[in-house]
Structure 1
């Protein structure tokens, strides 16, 4: 027996030495369960699909931004447009943009990225049979021509100023023609980006893995999990316990809790979204400019910003500071908070003893904003009721123009003022995205100029003129401009978020 115990002890000792020598200690929590660099993002919604052509939701876009790439991108700090898959470009004439593509790039399936891939993607995107949700992005393109293997020419129906901004939008990402023809990109995506598709369990998680052949070097993260966590409060708890590494779309009530947590980093960045109080410009009191001016003077924007505790910044412009087309002179021209002037104008409009309804959606900060606005209007003598609707019913009301005043918003995902003013405030889009039913001929004329002028300086000038006119006409009263807020675990390094809320994981690592 003594010999047996000696032999057993010798074996155990040897095993311990082998384990220690091999470094087989448990991996630190930050490195993921497999010991790899794995980041977990808590998404409040599952992806709808994985094709940039056929999706238009935020959850899908977060994943697509890692898998696919666009011809152009925005610098997250300056918001200047830069080539990405493109090498260079030249505006040959007002209707012709020639793009030289980078060479030596391959899709995840090993097929080459070239001009034919660009043509295939854009032609499918624009084909009415595809029914792409964001087809309007490339609607101005009349023809896509392959000049040679690495040169593509875009012919527009007429000069189109925001074309580069449209080409930088994630929905304009280039797909593998071979993969699209063979399979279903909605379920098995194939792009050129730093991460490749690995696995998708609908309603649970999407897993991406590093593209080891990425042209700028393999990402430091080896795996990314998009975990579906429907409740933000649950996602925050998981972040605090170290089970997830990244949470976004945070609300004011979450910030104090997270800022006091030593294990969490909170990043904020003034953003492109704008939130407003809008009027029905087609019927009712909203048609009266005097009434709209009275309401504009009733709104205390600074009080709104303070109430949102770090997720809002102020500007009197409809085009805000982080959107192309902004000019700081607009801050001198908006309506000042002036209760006495508001009271006087309400009397002139015959609205000092009337009651109006504010329609809002039951999402995000909208209900809070409706209550704030209600309180501010009451000080000026305007009584209001709040009508809170489920989001789908709310959108339906906007499309039909079935409201008096409304809390609304626009994310400005292209970062270009034309792509704010045209869909939201041009008469072409009444009954669609122009919820306030705004039809101002001079504004339409200026907005058209911002789209048909390709000269950058001229576009800036005309966008400012349009911003000035719309602020004075007041179909919207800006309540605040958004602040992008995300929270990460302390070990997340190298994450940058641009003012549209877009983020990329190519240069991210876990410490």
Structure 2
């Protein structure tokens, strides 16, 4: 703090006893004494002042940007969640996940036929000050949400999440189709499906009932962006990847791409009081005792480092340079004995928050690729053989160090629609896999490697990140391919580059993951829906029967009727083998002693608003 700055609030409290004594003095003398005391307090050395509460976080892969409509990765969405706000969010401590209002004043009002949704915003919420608003804050209004929903389908933006709004809202698809004639998306056009009725009321009209629309209102990609911000900062694709301006608790103050991200508390954030219940959960009870009644955000600064190497993250945590980190499978033995912290970490006051992620890790083969893709019998046989050659149990043991659970169903545990009793027909079976390849013409040549049915040589290009997990997965697949006498080529590149090629349907094979955007099976079954190729459908798969069943399922709420459709769709995955369903990871979040209030949420990425830092423990380290 400089000499001309105001003294900290805590130091002002030291003047209160002096004020009582000075009341008996005349006014001039009182002013003189108070001024002297203030100058003395301001002259205190920097070490005597309150340091900003700083949370040090880490990403294991680089972010791609901060436009809700323009990104498609966990890391970028974590930052977006802290800066931008959706209409709804999730109760921080409720398990299973429970929706609650965020910028909405209450939960949506839904008509009896389920086709009209009315959402009323809380007045007085403001965007952070920005040059887009002439340096001032600006109130959040219903039109901001209407504009942001329309952006998802704007062909110029090319959002990977266009599927969130396609086919849902009356008039929206027709508005997007007009771009082919006019060359531009008309954001000023009024459509009945997405309408700002007044300054604080948003009305949505649906083409058909959408049981999962409620979850979309809490999904990061439906966050509010201000049109002024997009018009000022958009790049050539119409995206605002580097200048996020939101109404959330934090704002971006520094960004070194792929290295460091710094957020600071939004000065005009409305704030909230920590007020959650434990619901009988002992872990929650401890958090409630520590946090109840605190004004949020309690943390003033967040520093996110990007460290792709496991060893670098572990050393940084050991040295006190990180406050929270996930002990991925390769690192787990360093910190855990089975499912418990090692005694030396527990003695230091380190805590563990452990949860099975609501996710699916799977391997896909590119449907458009002439070697591995399509509905030809030979290609189906090749994919099925590769799926049968892979050993999921060995990956859990070797790559994940036991920190994962095998999946046999595409809807993971903790998500509506999961079936724990389902058993897949796909098992590791090298003998059957090799017999299948022989039968469909993949003969071995003199060099010992198989050829295509037309006699041409071939290899499978496996794409992965150049980190330790990527290397181990590559070794696992090399072992499987060797057992089939199929050549494998390695394609290594940084995570953002993999995502870019994936959206262009240009990766022949990759191990991919999808963590729940909302806790419903629809979020996972849509990953193989043909019209979402290049969006959420990473393998660009097109199976007509699957698409037909998915279109039926999306109109149904969770329940037995929808489960029957999901079972049929899962059998199609096993028969045509566009995927090898793999596992869900266990997330082991290590927490330093100074961190208060943290518990991993199954859906939220950035729990930072609900946490605190004990600076006395930081200083005592």
TM bracket, shorter-chain basis: 0.7 to 0.9
Match of 1:276 in 2: 362
Q: Give the deviation of 1:445 after TM superposition.
A: 0.4
Equivalence map 1:30-429=2 (5 Å): 34-43=50-59, 49-74=65-90, 77-86=95-104, 87-92=106-111, 96-109=115-128, 111-132=138-159, 134-139=161-166, 140-141=168-169, 142=172, 143-176=193-226, 189-193=244-248, 195-197=249-251, 199-203=253-257, 204-209=260-265, 213-216=270-273, 218-219=295-296, 221-232=298-309, 233-248=311-326, 250-259=327-336, 260=342, 262=345, 263=348, 264-281=350-367, 283-284=370-371, 287-288=376-377, 289-307=380-398, 308-330=400-422, 332-351=423-442, 353=444, 355=450, 357-364=460-467, 365-376=469-480, 378-379=482-483, 381-391=484-494, 392=497, 396=501, 399-400=504-505, 403=508, 406-422=510-526, 424-429=527-532
Instruction: Using structure 1 for the length normalisation, give the TM-score.
Output: 0.78
Describe the superposition over 1:121-164 as per-residue Cα deviations: whole angstroms up to 9, x where unpaired. 33444444555554443333333123445432212345445433
Post-superposition offset of 1:315? 0.9
Q: Distance in 2 between matches of 1:188 and 1:388?
A: 32
Distance 2:63 2:367 in 1: 36
Provide, for residues 404-434 of structure 1, a one-character-per-residue CA deviation record: whole Å limited to 9, x for no partner: x543433443444434343x42333456664
2: distance between equivalents of 1:220 and 1:468? 47
2:566 is aligned, of 439, 463, 469, to 463
- How far the C-alpha of 1:69 sits from its partner, in A, is 1.9
Contact 1:239 1:488 in 2 (8 A): no
Counterparts in 2 of 1:168 and 1:334: CA distance versus 1, 3 Å: farther
Q: Distance in 1 between matches of 2:585 and 2:491?
A: 21
Partner SS, residue 88 of structure 1: coil
Shift of residue 351, structure 1, vs aligned partner? 4.1
Q: CA offset at residue 508 of structure 1?
A: 0.8
CA distance in 2, matches of 1:275, 1:180: 34
Q: Distance in 2 between matches of 1:372 and 1:129?
A: 40
1:140-198, Cα deviation, whole Å (9 max, x unpaired): 333312344543221234544543333222121124567667888766644333x2327
Aligned length: 480
Question: CA 1:504 to 1:67, structure 2 compared with 1: closer, same or farther past 3 Å?
Answer: same
CA distance in 2, matches of 1:105, 1:163: 26
Unaligned stretches of 5+ in structure 1?
1-17
Asked whether the 8 Å contact 2:366–2:505 carries over to 1, the reply is no
Change (3 A) 1:172 1:258: same
Structure 1 residue 43: deviation in Å? 3.9
| Separation (CA, whole Å) in 2 of partners of 1:183 and 1:407 | 34
Tell whether the 8 Å contact from 1:52 to 1:171 is kept in structure 2 after alignment: yes
Tell me: CA distance 1:253–1:153, structure 2 relative to 1, closer, same or farther (3 Å): same
TM-score by length of 2: 0.66
Gaps of 5+ in 2: 1-36, 129-136, 173-192, 235-239, 275-294, 337-341, 451-458, 615-621
Shift of 1:358: 4.8
How far apart, in 1, do the equivalents of 2:507 and 2:146 lie?
41
Give the C-alpha shift of residue 100 in structure 1: 2.9
- Alpha-carbon distance between aligned partners in 1 of 2:436 and 2:612, rounded to the nearest angstrom: 57
CA contact (8 A) 1:95 1:155 kept: no
Task: Give 1:209 deviation, angstroms.
Answer: 1.6
**Would the alpha carbon gap of residues 220 and 430 (structure 1) be closer, same or farther in structure 2, given more than 3 Å must change?**
closer
Q: Per-residue displacement from partner, 1:318-341 (whole Å, max 9, x unpaired)?
A: 2322444322232x2332334444
Task: Note if contact 2:354-2:586 (Cα within 8 Å) is conserved in structure 1.
Answer: yes
Q: Work out whether residues 401 and 431 of structure 1, in 8 Å CA contact, stay in contact via their aligned partners in 2.
A: no
